[in-house]
Each structure stands twice: as structure tokens, then as C-alpha cells.
Structure 1
């Protein structure tokens, strides 16, 4: 089963994604694909909260902030995976550590995520909904937002279940949430 969850920041997406991944993993192995590369104390605190929230659930963490394909060459196809988050993965791939910007990253990341979903029995994707602002942004930020929208649409079309998480509530657009 493939699941795509989107929603605003700190609205319960990760908690729901953990519940779904744990449910789907029975009786198999459970993997957490961590994509955030910490840049400051706020990032480190957020990562610590996520690690604490999934403690004891049986997740094996796979750090894959860059080069998702390379990091998952030997992925267990029968395992249950949670990728949190598509948003951070695109940021890492588009805005490179050396300061360069890769405008081809959205198309590549979309292809890699679809290929990954095709190889795995179960995967839950988490993405942030960042499209409701009325403010104009600079060209690079708009390119990032368009790129994330492309990936989100691609995943939504391919996944069995698509849902939005808002203030802890769920709006299911496609399929069913198994928990």
C-alpha cells in the first residue's frame, strides 16, 4: 500500500504516518526514512521530537537527506517504510551543500520516489502543504514551491491513499486510511 499525507506544519501528519506505517508493517520490518538535515537548533529540536515520538515503535532509521536512490539500493521490498518528509528531501536536493541550486531536482526526486514506491510493498510519504500563502516570493522560493507541487501531484496520482491532515483531523481524497 502507498499512502501520501500532506498538511500544514505541526498538524499531526507525522504521528498519523507513524501509526499507518506500524499498522502496515505487521508482521514485517519497519523503516523510517529520515530526510531532514539539521541546520540549526530548531531543526535539531524538531528531529529530537520526532525520534522521541517513534521510540519503542520498532522503526529502523535510515538517514537519507541526500541521494535517496543510493541510500536505498538494498531496501527490503517487504518492509514498511515512512518517508518524512518529501519537503525536506526536495530542499536538500535542490539547494545543495556547496551553495549551488539544482533546478532539475523536482523532476528527479519525483521519479526516484515513484520508482521507490514501485519497489516496496508499503510506503507512507509525508509532505508539507505550503501553497496557501498569498504573498509573492522570490524566484528561487517560487521554483521550490512549484517543484514540491509537482512532486506532490505525482505522488498523489500514484498512491493508493491520499489524505490531508489539518489540526489533527483527516480529509481523505483517495482510498482509505488503514488505521
Structure 2
């Protein structure tokens, strides 16, 4: 199962995605893939806020950090361990101004996601909704948004479900096609 959760900054998307991930627990606690880097005090506070949310959930999250290259993901994953990656916007931004092969990094990401999906691992991908912002005067920013937009389109096409969170309220844009996932999502939307 592949679920895409998007929303603006501080929209409640991460908290919603974390609740989705914990509702998928069977044998293993969820794996949290963190991409945030504490480059300033605001980002440090946001990282600590997310850590507090996971700690207060009562779930023993496994956490790994993926800043750019996917090397930490080169390991086997149990098929019944939910994976939550928060967030792809940050991951892409981490290396956007670096001298790296962006095409190769993004291709490795899509390959990883495809492999998880093929093996049946429940995956929730979180990303920011940055497309309602005015056009930037900086060409680098517009190119970043183009890459992110193309990545989002690919993920939504591959996903079983796509949800946008605004003001803490989830809106399903792409409905699941199978009955079991539809019932699970309906329960989550009612409970959360």
C-alpha cells in the first residue's frame, strides 16, 4: 500500500500521517524516515516537535535519517513494518544546491518506492504543497518546484491513495481501489 499525504507548512499533515502509520502496526513498530536537518533554530524546533509527537504517541518508532543519498535504506524491510517518510520536500531541498546528480538521486528514490510497493510494504510519503505560492523571481526555486511537482505526479500515479491535509482536515483526492484499503481509510478518517 502506497499513500501520499501532502499539505502546506504546519497544516497537520505530519501528525495525520503518523496516525495513519500507527494504525497499520501489526508485528513491527513503524519506521520513520526523517529528512530534516537542523540548519537553524527554527528547523531544530520543528525536528524536536516531530520527535515529541512520536514519543508521546506511545509507539516505539524506529527512526533513520536520510538526508540525500539513500544509503541508509540499503537493507531488508519486513513486509509488515509500516514506513513513514517525512518529508520529500525537505529531502529534495537538502541537496538542491549541492553539486550532486539530482537525476540519479530522484531515480533511486522512485526505484526504492517501487520496490517497497512491489513487496507489499505499507508506505506513507509526506510532502509539502508548495504549488499555490506565487511564481518565484529565482529560477532555482522554480526549477525546484518543477522537479517536486513531477515527483508528486509520479507518486500520486503510483499511489493507492492521495490525501491533502489543510487546517488539520484531510481531503482524499485519490480513493483506494480495493475494498479493504477503502474501509481502513474510512475508519481512519472517522477516528482521527
Q: TM-score, normalised by structure 2?
A: 0.83
Structure 1 pair 152–22 and aligned structure 2 pair: CA distance change class (3 A): same
Structure 1 pair 36–116 and aligned structure 2 pair: CA distance change class (3 A): farther
What aligned pairs does 1:46-65 form with structure 2 within 5 A after superposition?
46-55=46-55, 56-65=58-67
The answer to whether the aligner puts 1:3 opposite 2:3 as a matched pair is yes
Alignment-derived partner of residue 80 in structure 1: 82
Q: Secondary structure at the match of 1:131?
A: coil
What aligned pairs does 1:110-129 form with structure 2 within 5 A after superposition?
110-119=110-119, 121-129=121-129
Provide the aligned C-alpha RMSD in A: 1.9
Runs (5+) with no aligned partner, structure 1:
none
Quote the Cα distance in structure 2 between the aligned partners of 1:140 and 1:110.
Answer: 22
- Report the CA distance between 1:80 and its aligned residue: 0.7
- Report the CA distance between 1:73 and its aligned residue: 1.2
Alignment-derived partner of residue 33 in structure 1: 33
Partners of 1:17 and 1:124 within 8 A in 2 = yes
Quote the Cα distance in structure 1 between the aligned partners of 2:137 and 2:169.
Answer: 29
Quote the Cα distance in structure 1 between the aligned partners of 2:156 and 2:164.
Answer: 11
Quote the Cα distance in structure 2 between the aligned partners of 1:50 and 1:81.
Answer: 16
What aligned pairs does 1:1-179 form with structure 2 within 5 A after superposition?
1-55=1-55, 56-68=58-70, 70-78=71-79, 79-96=81-98, 100=99, 102-104=101-103, 105-119=105-119, 121-174=121-174, 175=176, 176=182, 177=185, 179=188
Q: Secondary structure at the match of 2:24?
A: helix
Runs (5+) with no aligned partner, structure 2:
177-181
User: Of Structure 1 and Structure 2, which has the larger fraction of its residues in helix?
Assistant: 2
Aligned residues: 175
- Report the CA distance between 1:118 and its aligned residue: 3.3
Partners of 1:106 and 1:147 within 8 A in 2 = no
Quote the Cα distance in structure 2 between the aligned partners of 1:137 and 1:102.
Answer: 24
Structure 1 pair 155–34 and aligned structure 2 pair: CA distance change class (3 A): same
- Report the CA distance between 1:29 and its aligned residue: 2.8
Quote the Cα distance in structure 2 between the aligned partners of 1:131 and 1:35.
Answer: 21
Q: Secondary structure at the match of 1:124?
A: strand
